[in-house]
Chains A and B, each alone.
Chain A
Amino acid sequence: MSNAITDIYSVLWPELRFLRRHWLSILATSLVSPVLYLVAFGYGLGNNLTVEGVSYIAFIIPGIVALTSMTVSFGGAAMKLNVDRLYYKSFDEFLMSPISHSSIVVGKALLGVVRGLLSCGAIIVMGVFISPQLIIDPLFILSLLVSCLAFSFFGVFAALVVNSHQSMSTFNSLVMLPMTFLCGTFFALSQVPEAVRMVLYVLPLTQSSECIRSAALGEHFPWISLIALVGFGAIFYFASMYKLKKSSI
């Protein structure tokens, strides 16, 4: 076990080095779109709006945190791994080391988690200034962590499966972008028709928004959603393990 922890840290280590060197530009880049959403939707649209009894801005801040946990964790885990695997071949060095596949998958996913937490942390700080009623409690932190982890495993899996940079951006437009706008980030799911809602509930960002928002607004916490999110992460962890095993055949 302690061996596995050391191994995971070894896999994460080069990424932490990189992060330490470039954290400011990485953080700034990752905050551009959430801040734009916050300004455009929060202030532009929602000055006098209320949704489900809270001000619109208080409503969307947790949504934007969830959204950021998805995009930043996913991208943080996926982009570098994909490039390392396809173009620089440096990922082979990991595969040729005595470190187990599971440590590699977890280590690579933790990079997404670290980046996700960094960006979400910045948004949360902004958020509590804008809307002091937000509750940042252990349940909120837990939801955020699970969300970052789930989307990071998703990113690792995507990076292992997708075989060109082109397909990676296709994947982003076809999967990530629709989730950005549909999964209850900017509107309450109670506002959409039943049938559509059923479909949206299948998407992981919906579960993440539900958890993070409920915690932040002190509403009844949807444990089922949290479990769904854990399951979602687990599926992509195992899928990544399977892919690594198969690709060496």
Chain B
Amino acid sequence: MDDLITIDRLTKNYGKVEAVKELDLKVRRGEIFGFLGPNGAGKTTTMRVMTTLTKPNSGRVSIDGLDVVKEGERVKELIGVVQQHLSLDRDLSIRENMVLHARLHRMRSTERENRIRELIEYAGLSEHADKMVDVLSGGMKKRATIMCALLHRPQLLFLDEPTVGLDAQTRRRMWDLVRRLNSDGTTIFLTTHYIEEAQALCDRVGIIDHGRLIALGSPLELRQKLGMVAVEMQGDNNGTRYQYFSDRAGATRFVQDIASQDQTIIIRESNLEDVFVELTGQKVGDA
């Protein structure tokens, strides 16, 4: 499959802080790619480089063959970006925010009007389009921001932590929206520190920690590498311990061998969180 984003030995420092270190990564056209890592891992920094907001110290990023530093102007036409923080203009309504975005992307007025109407409907915001930003719920604001990013029909949509601060139902609706956009042909690059999100949504996941990529693959591949079955041994003085096995039979055998009374033992399917914990020695979010 062909690659839409190629990151080649990307390094970015803020003074002494090495936010991203020699990162290599390829994102395929048409996929939902998840960049998973704890707070401070370097996800936003990587995204800011890819979206032309920040220049790297070394290394190269290209999008659809275009260098983001040298050909930034053209890259900007291919991408839509939803930042981690709400970036709507609070002095404007949703519709006005969309008009502003369309103008900034030099859309002509008739095309602009049609496209805005279409996207407002797509996002289910018809009743709220003329309200000011601040009176809307968090989920609506987020959807509105995404619609702004989609106005100029980007091939590639960046979403930085798209569901932070949203309640569980709103989060699922957001996932549905992302899937729908993807099946309509948009490649998605999203960052998240929620493992469930990466697992539920992404075709492939890259795990980043302390600025380094430490694992890459589909959620299934990553689990397979670790072992599809997890044995959790609780009640030990050392806290909970984990062991991983490629199948249930292996896990069951292991449990029979070590069986003791003062321990609760759980056999379950492994998940991405297990992968993450094993690789980083920490829980996501503890950074």
Task: Assess whether A92 is in contact with B103, with CB atoms less than 8 Å apart.
Answer: no
Residues of B within 8 A of A98 (CB): 73, 76-77, 104-106
Contact of A92 among B53, B79, B101, B106 (CB under 8 A): B53
Q: Is B11 an interface residue (CB 8 A)?
A: no
Task: Assess whether B104 is in contact with A97, with CB atoms less than 8 Å apart.
Answer: yes
- A89 CA to B101 CA in the complex, in Å? 14
- A248 CA to B89 CA in the complex, in Å? 21
Instruction: Mark out the residues of chain A between 64 and 106 whose CB falls within 8 Å of any chain B CB in the assembled complex.
Output: 84, 88-90, 92-99
Closest to B99 in A: A13
Q: How far is the CB of A197 from the nearest CB of chain B, in Å?
A: 43
Closest to B97 in A: A14
Q: Is B85 an interface residue (CB 8 A)?
A: yes
Task: Assess whether B76 is in contact with A97, with CB atoms less than 8 Å apart.
Answer: yes
Task: Assess whether B104 is in contact with A10, with CB atoms less than 8 Å apart.
Answer: yes
Residues of A within 8 A of B148 (CB): 93
Q: How far is the CB of A77 from the nearest CB of chain B, in Å?
A: 15
Q: Is B92 an interface residue (CB 8 A)?
A: yes
Residues of B within 8 A of A3 (CB): 106
What's the count of A-B pairs with C-beta under 8 Å? 71
Q: Is B51 an interface residue (CB 8 A)?
A: yes
Q: How far is the CB of B98 from the nearest CB of chain A, in Å?
A: 11
Given A95-B53, A98-B105; A14-B76 close (CB under 8 Å): no
Q: How far is the CB of B15 from the nearest CB of chain A, in Å?
A: 13
Closest to B81 in A: A96
Task: Assess whether B89 is in contact with A96, with CB atoms less than 8 Å apart.
Answer: no
Write out, one digit per residue, whether chain B residues 56-91 have a CB within 8 A of any chain A CB (1) or not (0). 000000000000000001001101010101111111
Q: Is A210 an interface residue (CB 8 A)?
A: no
Given A14-B92, A96-B76, A98-B76; A89-B106 close (CB under 8 Å): no
Closest to B105 in A: A97
- A97 CA to B100 CA in the complex, in Å? 11
Write out, one digit per residue, whether chain A residues 8-49 have a CB within 8 A of any chain B CB (1) or not (0). 001101100110000000000000000000000000000000
Residues of A within 8 A of B99 (CB): 13
Task: Assess whether A7 is in contact with B100, with CB atoms less than 8 Å apart.
Answer: no
Closest to A10 in B: B103
Q: Is B96 an interface residue (CB 8 A)?
A: yes
Q: How far is the CB of B50 from the nearest CB of chain A, in Å?
A: 11
Given A84-B89, A97-B104, A98-B106; A92-B83 close (CB under 8 Å): yes
Q: Is A249 an interface residue (CB 8 A)?
A: yes
Q: How far is the CB of A67 from the nearest CB of chain B, in Å?
A: 27
Residues of A within 8 A of B73 (CB): 98
Write out, one digit per residue, whether chain B residues 245-280 have a CB within 8 A of any chain A CB (1) or not (0). 000000000000000000000000000000000000
Q: Is A6 an interface residue (CB 8 A)?
A: yes
Given A14-B92, A248-B54, A248-B55; A89-B85 close (CB under 8 Å): yes
Q: Is B52 an interface residue (CB 8 A)?
A: yes
Residues of A within 8 A of B89 (CB): 14, 84, 88, 90
Residues of A within 8 A of B83 (CB): 89, 92
Write out, one digit per residue, whether chain B residues 88-121 have a CB within 8 A of any chain A CB (1) or not (0). 1111100010011101111000000000000000
Task: Assess whether B96 is in contact with A89, with CB atoms less than 8 Å apart.
Answer: no
Query: Of residues A92, A94, A96, which shows the largest number of chain B Cβ atoms within 10 Å of its Cβ?
Result: A96
Residues of B within 8 A of A89 (CB): 83, 85-87
- A83 CA to B90 CA in the complex, in Å? 11
Task: Assess whether B104 is in contact with A99, with CB atoms less than 8 Å apart.
Answer: yes
Residues of B within 8 A of A17 (CB): 91-92, 96
Given A18-B92, A96-B76; A13-B87 close (CB under 8 Å): no
Task: Assess whether A14 is in contact with B86, with CB atoms less than 8 Å apart.
Answer: no
Given A88-B87, A89-B87; A96-B106 close (CB under 8 Å): no
Task: Assess whether A90 is in contact with B88, with CB atoms less than 8 Å apart.
Answer: yes
- A99 CA to B103 CA in the complex, in Å? 10
- A3 CA to B106 CA in the complex, in Å? 9
- A96 CA to B105 CA in the complex, in Å? 10
Residues of A within 8 A of B100 (CB): 10, 13-14, 93
Task: Assess whether B87 is in contact with A7, with CB atoms less than 8 Å apart.
Answer: no
A-B contact pairs, 27 of them (CB 8 A): A10-B100, A10-B104, A10-B106, A14-B89, A14-B91, A17-B96, A88-B85, A88-B87, A88-B89, A88-B90, A89-B83, A89-B87, A92-B87, A93-B104, A93-B148, A95-B53, A96-B52, A96-B79, A97-B76, A97-B101, A98-B73, A98-B77, A98-B106, A248-B52, A248-B53, A248-B54, A248-B55
Contacts beyond the supplied A14-B91, A88-B87: 11 A-B pairs with Cβ under 8 Å: A13-B99, A18-B91, A18-B92, A88-B88, A88-B90, A89-B86, A90-B90, A92-B87, A93-B100, A96-B76, A248-B55
The 5 closest A-B pairs by CB, nearest first: A97-B104, A10-B103, A249-B55, A18-B91, A89-B87
